């Protein structure tokens, strides 16, 4: 049976315009019930609706609250530092290879925590432009508002991960891959194999057997919103296995693909977020040098045989 996240169902934007489409509570409740998730159905049942349509302002406020709680989780997991530790070496080898204008684009940035944290510390260097994109204009507006309030040099805009106009030296994301079906992942990665792009670094939940239990404890302790608690566990249940991720990432055929600290090298009790990394083959040696001892954590596509979890 498919695992659904409430946050994917309660809002609908046409990413091309972006125009908001009405979401009928009964449709969402029916989908959740059909998926056997009666608890999620009850959460949606309690949400305000007018003439059967979920109230947009209330949905928006809820999603901003949940993403703000998600930021706290990101802070606790040191997501910005983890990105910086990989992006620093990736950008260093890209600079050495002659790239002048460097740009990092965070896909599905939510309220923009990672991009804002990288901008606040300036850890990647003043020559690196930072941009966050998300298909939800409300989250983009909140990310922009926070960046202005914090006096940061970074930008946010609406974009669909599958129709990206924005060029990047490195594309990144955190907690986004599991929102896409295994079939859609290939086109997600392929779209980032474009001229001028040196690499991508996409962090998501490692699909261990204990990940849902860990997610339950973590989200119970750290999140107040029932939707956030529900979706946190659903995310861990939906997480793609290493095999699925690597097979999809290999569709970016101009990149060499690695997992960094992949599941089989970690304690299943601690495995949390780990990235799939794609990088131009000519930059791999330089990256290994720049990573130093940490290069041991890079495992190429030949080295991982974790079975894909059957789902959806």
Q: Which residue number, 113 or 260, has a Cβ lying nearer to ligand SAM? A: 113
Rounded CA separation 192/16 (Å): 19
Rounded CA separation 45/284 (Å): 51
**What is the full DSSP assignment across 203-230?**
EEE---TTHHHHHHHHHHHH---HHHHH
Q: Which residue number, 134 or 261, has a Cβ lying nearer to ligand SAM? A: 134
Q: Which residue number, 89 or 110, has a Cβ lying nearer to ligand SAM? A: 110
Helix, strand, coil distribution of the chain in percent, nearest 5 = 50, 20, 35
Closest separation between CB of residue 109 and ligand SAM, Å?
5
Closest separation between CB of residue 64 and ligand SAM, Å?
10
Q: Which residue number, 131 or 139, has a Cβ lying nearer to ligand SAM? A: 139
Q: Which residue number, 175 or 272, has a Cβ lying nearer to ligand SAM? A: 175
| Residue pointed to by tokens 């960094």 | 260
Distances (CA, A) of 101 to 125, 170, 257: 12, 11, 24
Closest separation between CB of residue 76 and ligand SAM, Å?
12
Which residues bind to ligand SAM, rule: CB under 6 A? 67, 70, 74, 107-110, 113, 134-136, 139, 160-162, 174-176, 179
Closest separation between CB of residue 63 and ligand SAM, Å?
8
Closest separation between CB of residue 283 and ligand SAM, Å?
25
Cis peptide before 126 (omega within 30 of 0): no
């Amino acid at each position: 049976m498919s695992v659904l996240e409430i946050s994917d169902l309660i809002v609908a934007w046409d990413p091309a315009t972006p125009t908001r489409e009405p979401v009928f509570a009964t449709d969402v409740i029916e989908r959740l019930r059909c998926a056997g998730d009666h608890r999620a159905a009850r959460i949606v049942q309690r949400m305000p609706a007018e003439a059967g349509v979920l109230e947009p302002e209330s949905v928006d406020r809820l999603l901003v609250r949940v993403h703000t709680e998600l930021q706290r989780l990101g802070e606790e997991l040191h997501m910005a530092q983890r990105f910086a530790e990989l992006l620093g070496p990736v950008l260093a080898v890209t600079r050495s290879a002659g790239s002048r204008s460097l740009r990092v684009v965070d896909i599905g940035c939510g309220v923009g925590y990672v991009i804002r944290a990288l901008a606040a510390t300036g850890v990647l260097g003043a020559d690196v432009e930072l941009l966050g994109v998300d298909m939800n204009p409300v989250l983009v507006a909140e990310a922009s508002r926070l960046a202005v309030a914090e006096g940061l040099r970074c930008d946010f805009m609406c974009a669909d991960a599958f129709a990206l106009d924005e060029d990047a030296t490195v594309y990144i994301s955190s907690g986004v891959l599991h929102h896409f079906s295994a079939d859609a992942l290939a086109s997600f990665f392929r779209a980032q194999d474009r001229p001028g792009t040196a690499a991508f670094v996409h962090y998501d939940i490692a699909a261990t057997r204990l990940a849902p239990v860990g997610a339950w404890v973590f989200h119970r302790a750290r999140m107040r919103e029932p939707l956030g608690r529900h979706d946190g566990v659903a995310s861990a249940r939906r997480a793609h296995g290493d095999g699925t991720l690597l097979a999809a990432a290999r569709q970016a055929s101009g990149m060499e693909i690695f997992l960094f600290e992949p599941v089989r090298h970690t304690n299943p009790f601690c495995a949390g977020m780990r990235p799939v990394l794609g990088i131009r083959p000519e930059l791999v040696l330089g990256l290994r040098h720049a990573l130093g001892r940490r290069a041991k954590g890079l495992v190429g596509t030949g080295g991982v045989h974790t079975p894909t979890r059957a789902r959806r």
